[in-house]
Structure 1
Amino acid sequence: MNTIIQCIVLLACASICTSRVIMTSCQCVKTNKTVDLSRIADIKVYNPRPHCSKQEIIAVLREGAGFTSRCLDPNEGLVQAIVKTVKLQKMQQAAKMNSLSPKKTTK
């Protein structure tokens, strides 16, 4: 009987530990209204999620030999235009890469 209780307790502990959601907070505490457009390397858009109830837009900027990140205000019109432009550029680059890749034919 003692072994059965130990197994039940072990299973309960294992299920609690594996089903736990790792809680983190929002990445953006302070936001900027704009950034230098020529320095933008990428834009990351995070929609609201369980641990952060607001949309976050993070610009990855070229800085010297490395990169830095800046949080942008998703409510600003200029930021929304930047996001659309970067997404369009990514789609154009993907289309260009697809058209340049060699076509394989099989018989």
Structure 2
Amino acid sequence: MNSTFQCVVLLACVAACTSLVSKRCLCLTTRDRENRRLIVDVKERPPRPYCSRYEVIAVLRTGRSSCLNPRSDFTRDIVRSFRKMKEEAMRRVKLNGRETTMTVSTKTPSTTPSTNPSRTQSTTPSTTPPVV
């Protein structure tokens, strides 16, 4: 009977220990800057009961994350620019009448091959007078 009780307590402890999520600060070390072209998203984490620090995490194109120093000028600028981009994207979504969530990417749009204007024929008449 005593060993059965010990097994039950041991199993309960193992289950409790494995199911707990480790809650701690994500950023143990921070960087003052990161290559701006590699950053695709910025996540801000305010202070929480288990972490008293404000954390800024940059998600890079390579798939890894980098913790930025929230007090550096670089981090303040990048957070401000990403907030502005996200607000503009949400404003555009609301103007289009669609209330959907949207991820913001800083990738440059691909350019289409340019056509030679001398080879294309315009079907609309030109509004500018010819130069004499």
TM-score by length of 1: 0.67
Q: Which has the higher strand share?
A: 1
Amino acid at match of 1:74: P
Asked whether the 8 Å contact 1:33–1:79 carries over to 2, the reply is: yes
User: Percent identity, aligned pairs only?
Assistant: 30
Q: What residue number does 2:39 align with? A: 40
Amino acid at match of 2:56: I
Shift of 1:100: 2.5
Q: What residue number does 1:71 align with? A: 67
Q: Which has the higher helix share?
A: 1
Q: Aligned equivalents of 1:37 and 1:98: distance in 2?
A: 28
Q: Aligned equivalents of 2:74 and 2:29: distance in 1?
A: 17
Amino acid at match of 1:61: L
Q: What residue number does 2:56 align with? A: 57
Asked whether the 8 Å contact 1:23–1:51 carries over to 2, the reply is: no
Q: What residue number does 2:108 align with? A: none
Q: What residue number does 1:95 align with? A: 91
Unaligned runs of 5+ in 1: 1-16, 103-107
Unaligned runs of 5+ in 2: 1-15, 99-132
Q: What residue number does 2:30 align with? A: 31
State the superposition RMSD in angstroms: 1.8
Q: Aligned equivalents of 2:91 and 2:41: distance in 1?
A: 17
Shift of 1:97: 1.8
Displacement over 6 Å in runs of 4+: none
